[in-house]
Chains A and B, each alone.
Chain A
Amino acid sequence: MTKFIVILLSAVFVNNYVLSRFLGICPFLGVSKKLDSATGMSLAVIFVMMMATAATWPIQTFLLDPNGLGYLQTIVFILVIAALVQLVEIVLKRYIPALHQSLGVYLPLITTNCAVLGVTILNVTDYPDDFLSAMVNSFGSGLGFFLAMVMFSGVRSKIESADIPESFKGLPVTLIAASITSLSFLGFGGVVENMFPA
């Protein structure tokens, strides 16, 4: 059990996908302007990350590796993710229209979100023989993305009303704010190791 808590906490705080590993920066900067769109996007990301890991981990372990096809990883993973996202969208639209209303619009955006491809590749490299850890890690990574998005949308609503120099308007000041937000996550370094000494 402790193992899973360590993985979860590390994925959310210490190795936060957006703020420490620089994965999924595009949606982080693009969709974080309003709180509701930030929440919708990150819920969809959590969902797709877990689905993608559940699909790609067995493919890598039981199909590609035994047949010496490991080099096809990149192609297979991106196709599986793209197909999966389409499938999820169709299923949601047909059976849970309410959820499709709130998440559906973000799903197509996620196909080429590097955080999703990143988490699937990292899972098969980091946890090659432990499916549960891989799943916990993908949930934690999604949760970390959620945390970063929600925090940052709060920061951005403050920037909107600030008086900033002309050349910093728009993206530059957003990046500076992201820098300060990521500075706060730097403080989590070593916390998990000290909480649960091996």
Chain B
Amino acid sequence: MNKLQNLSKGIIKENPVLVLVLGTCPTLATSTSVVNALGMGAAATIVLICSNAVISALRKVIPDKVRIPCYIVLIAGFVTMVQMLVKAFAPALDQSLGIFLPLIVVNCIILGRAEMFANKNTVIDSVLDAVGMGAGFTLALSLMAVIREVFGNGTFLGIEIPVFVDNKISILTMAPGGFFVFGILIAAMNKFAKNKPKKKSFGCDSCPQAAACGRAGAGCGDKAEVSAK
């Protein structure tokens, strides 16, 4: 696989949110406004680039058996750094992201890329992969945020939009709206994607911890669900 593909595959073909369905929690929770979505996307991307780079640099040093704990410690370290930076330079963003900033540690995208890509590839490839995946995450998050903010709140980046502001569908900014918009987006992705993304079963196959937990969840094992075809 060449370098350009490593970079670009994260954006559409293997979009971490819409195709691989990783990192659902922050996607649903922080997509209520475009500013939050961009902030969350940027924070996660920085952590992803740093962790992918370091993990792939250390891939020959880290013993295979304890790799997951090692990854988690590395990731937690980077998350703490980002957390301190955001607290210092963007306190408003820190307020609105709240709990979801420290929760980047358990974001499946980051651990997933470490497990699936960074521990098998060179540093440069891993960084490119991280940039692509981060961009894909930010893009999907912003897309959802645009829909939810424009229709739900009648604003875009905080600026009121004439017609929409009088016809708010407030439910879109609340919890049910998040699930709904996300569902519709994935359905649209299934329908209109140019070369149909291979339908991934949602369960152990797409879960980065599959190896660690040995496909533990009973509901996890059966793939029949999505790959009905």
Contact = CB atoms under 8 A, between A and B. Distances in A.
Interface stretch (B132-140, B146-154, B202-210): B202-210
Contacts, number: 163
Q: Please indicate which of the listed interface residues B105, B108, B216 has the most CB atoms of chain A within 10 Å of its own CB.
A: B216
Contacts of A21: 29, 175
Interface residues of B, number: 55
A76 B175 CA distance: 30
Contacts of B177: 179
A114 interface: yes
B179 A178 contact: yes
A106 B216 contact: yes
Nearest to B183: A175
B24 A26 contact: yes
A176 interface: yes
Given A167-B190, A171-B202, A175-B182, A25 B25 contact: yes
A40 B218 contact: yes
Contacts of A182: 175-176, 179
B186 A114 contact: no
B106 A173 contact: no
Interface stretch (A57-65, A115-123, A137-145): A115-123
Contacts of A34: 218-219
A170 interface: yes
A37 B72 contact: no
Contacts of B202: 29-30, 170-171, 174
Contacts of B188: 167
Contact of B176 (A32, A71, A174, A180): A180
Contacts of A20: 175
A180 B179 CA distance: 9
Given A21-B29, A23-B103, A186-B174, 6 more contacts: A21-B175, A22-B178, A79-B69, A170-B199, A176-B184, A179-B179
Interface of A: 19-27, 29-34, 36-38, 40-41, 71-75, 78-79, 82, 105-106, 108-109, 112-114, 117-118, 121-122, 165-176, 178-180, 182-183, 185-186
6 contacts: A23-B99, A71-B84, A166-B190, A171-B202, A171-B226, A186-B174
